[in-house]
Structure formats: structure tokens, C-alpha cells
Chain A
Amino acid sequence: MPQAVRHTATVTRQDKGKAMNCEKCQELISDLVDGALSRHDESSLNSHLEECLDCVGVSNDLASIVSFCRAHRGEYEAPPNEQALWLRISNVITSEKAESPVNYTASPRRSFLSGLMGRSWELSLPQLSAFAAAIVVVVSLATTVGLRRWETGAPPVPPDGPQTAASPTDRAWQQQQVISYWNQRIELNKARWNPEMRETFDRNMRVIDQAVSESMNELNRNPHDEVSEQMLNDSLNDKLSLLKEFSDL
């Protein structure tokens, strides 16, 4: 160690004056690194640095930390599983939208409807007649189709419409993505569990996996089996709940 100023946490009385200088100096080093020092402070600091290797070390170290951060600004790290995170987010949003649609911004359909209702209509006589004729045609068509359906006993179309809903296999795939995310979290914690807890978890998981597998087999045989679809959804939800519960333990 050269005969430069020595600094210790427990300062001796003789060293106190110099140590205080170092304390003051080190307080100012951050401002020096940020270029926020007054000319006077900078000059006193530089004088101290000329004779104090320890403070020079601090100054160099802080400068390299700060310059590294500046050089790497704008570099971002991806979440462990971006797709699973998105599925979690979209699931929450979808369920919240379903529960309280009024909390969210109006859908385009509602805006259109409110636009129609709020608008003042001024129609000429020919326009009015054409409008009335159009209504008559639409109502007659709807009545004819309705009567035919009633006569043939065709089942009613579900309100959400099968063409707009995701297929069961798509939904199952999405849920599997979320499940695989929670599985990863479980794997991280599993090492901490005691044997009893591990056995309980594995037993429950076996039962659920069996149910999932049976429902999937049934759906492969008969893709339109609504009961199997419902059972598959329930089993996957159960699996997700189990994984979430155990991931906190």
C-alpha cells in the first residue's frame, strides 16, 4: 500500500481530518461522474484525487458502473415465457370483460348502435317508403325461416355461435400453454417440499391427468361431443388451480 491517505471504517484521531476529506470527496464523486459538480468543487476534488489512490479507485469504479449502464441502456430482457405471460394477461382481460363489460370502452357495435340512436333522422317521403318496404321484407323473411325451422324441428343456434368460438382443441392448447408455465414454477419450488406434500401433489395430478387424457380421447373420437368438451375444460381448470395452489407453497 503506498503512503497515500489510508481510510478505515474506524478512524483514528490522527487520521480523522484526512478521513473526513475522503468522506466529503466520496460524496462528491457521484456528482463528478454525472458531470454535475460546480467548478470550485471539481477543483478541490481533483486536488484530493491527486494524492489519494483510494478515492481514485472509488471514482474509477463508479465511473465504470455508470458508463456500463449508459452503454447498455435500452437493452431489455424477455420474460421467461412471453407466450404464457400473454395468455395469462388475455385470460384475465377476457374474464373481466365478460364479468363487467361496462368498465371497458364501448365495443364498435355499441358505438354504432348509440350513434344510430343519438342521430336525428330527416327522411324524404320516397326514402321513408323504401325504409318501410325494407322492414316488411326483412320481417317476412325472418318469419318464413322461423316457421320452417319450427316445422323441421332444427335445433336453435347457440347465442355465441359456433363459428365465432375457438375450437375445443385450440382452447385446450392455450390452456396447456398456461399450465406449462405454472408447471415450470412448480418445478422450481418442488425441491423444498416434504415427501408427503410431493405425494399429495402427484396423486392429485395423476387423477386430473387421467381425466384430461380420457376427455381428449373421447374428443378425438367425437369432436362434437359437448359433454367431453366440458369435462376437458373442467379438468384443465382443476389442473390449473392445483398448480397455482401448490406453486405458492
Chain B
Amino acid sequence: MATETETPQTTDYELAQKAAQGDMGAFEELYQRHNRRVYSLCLRMTGNVSEAEDLAQEVFIQLFRKIGSFRGESAFTTWLHRLTVNQVLMHFRKRGVRMEQTTEDGETPIQIVKGTENPNAMPVVDRIALDKAIAQLPPGYRTVFTLHDIEGHEHEEIARMLGCSVGTSKSQLHKARMKLRGLLRQQNPS
């Protein structure tokens, strides 16, 4: 039963059922509850405000079209999350965004860190710096990093979503973290 986000009166599942009957008030309530979650995910996966807004709009339109098929077997948020991720991935495919794949040689080699005078030069991580750095990641790295480190998915789930192997997911995550580290150091060199 989907009761992850509850108010004293109405659960997400109940609102979804009402929305499936054409109740726009119920659908608006669902929008109010979840638009930030959807938008944030789109923003982190695309790294672009306008794109994220357009995608969030498309997600909610798709949600309205498909809401009748939500049976409450999983949490509404999980269902909506999956819908959002799929929408962003479809968008990447339509736009021809290359999802970095790990090859034997490694497409984007990680530069082994150089010795520095101050090996602990990375500044203290903060939200603004991290978001800025995430936005600069290549789309494939950004997707895996967002799904794993920000959204908390396991590699097995990510591999299923992206249609790749668990090893590829792990490898891309490591590369994404290393690239992020480099970007954070560049933002605030000490």
C-alpha cells in the first residue's frame, strides 16, 4: 500500500485514484507534494535548469496519462521516481546524448593524481560547489552518480535501469567521483 507521503487526510494512493477519475484537484495535490523531488532529480541528471523544468513538466503529464495504472503495489514515490528516471533517459536518447561506456581501455581515462604540496587541497564540500561540479560531469557519469550517491540506488538497480552491467555501473561511478573530486579542487584551488 502506498502510504509513504501521508497527510492526516489523504494518502498518495488515494489521491492517485481520484486523479485517475479525472479529479484535477487531487492531481494538483500530488504535484504539490512531489514536484520538488521530480524537479531536483531532473536537474541533477541534466545539470540544466530549463531542461529540468521541461522534463518535470513532461513527467507530470506522463504521470496523469498513466496514473490509472498505479495499483499501489509499490510506494507512489518509487513509482514516480522510476517514471522520472525513464523520462530523463528517454530525453537523453532522443537528444543523442552519449552515455559513457567503460571499455577495456577506458574511454575517459582517470588521471592518476599528481603529487601536490598539499594533498588535502579539496575544499570542504558544500551544496553549491557540488551541484556546480555535478552539472559539469559528462551525462553518463552524472546519471550514475545521481542515482547511486544522491538517490541511493544499488548498482544492480542502476544496471537494470540503464541496461548495462553492474561492473559498468561501478566503474562509471568511480570515474564520476574522481572527476568530481578534480572539479571541486579546480573550483577552489588552495
Contacts and interface: CB of A to CB of B under 8 A. Distances in A.
Q: Please tell me the size bucket of the interface on B.
A: 35 or more
A76 B174 contact: no
Interface in B147-185: 149-152, 170, 173-174, 177-178, 180-181, 184
Interface stretch (A18-26, A40-48, A149-157, A158-166): A18-26
A65 B181 contact: yes
A98 to B, nearest CB: 12
B39 A104 contact: no
Interface string B29-64: 001100111011001000001101100110011001
Contacts of A57: 113, 119-122
B115 A105 contact: no
Contact of A65 (B39, B127, B177): B177
Contacts of B22: 97, 104-108
B56 A7 contact: no
Given A26-B110, A89-B31, A107 B21 contact: yes
Interface of A: 1, 4, 6-9, 11, 19, 22-23, 26-27, 29-31, 33, 53-58, 60-62, 64-66, 68-70, 72-73, 76-80, 82, 85-86, 88-90, 92-94, 96-97, 103-108, 111, 185
Interface of B: 20-22, 24, 27-28, 31-32, 35-37, 39-40, 43, 49-50, 52-53, 56-57, 60-61, 64-65, 67-68, 110-117, 119-122, 124-125, 127, 130, 149-152, 170, 173-174, 177-178, 180-181, 184
Given A1-B115, A30-B177, A69-B149, 12 more contacts: A61-B184, A65-B130, A65-B149, A65-B180, A77-B36, A77-B40, A78-B39, A79-B53, A79-B56, A89-B64, A97-B22, A105-B67
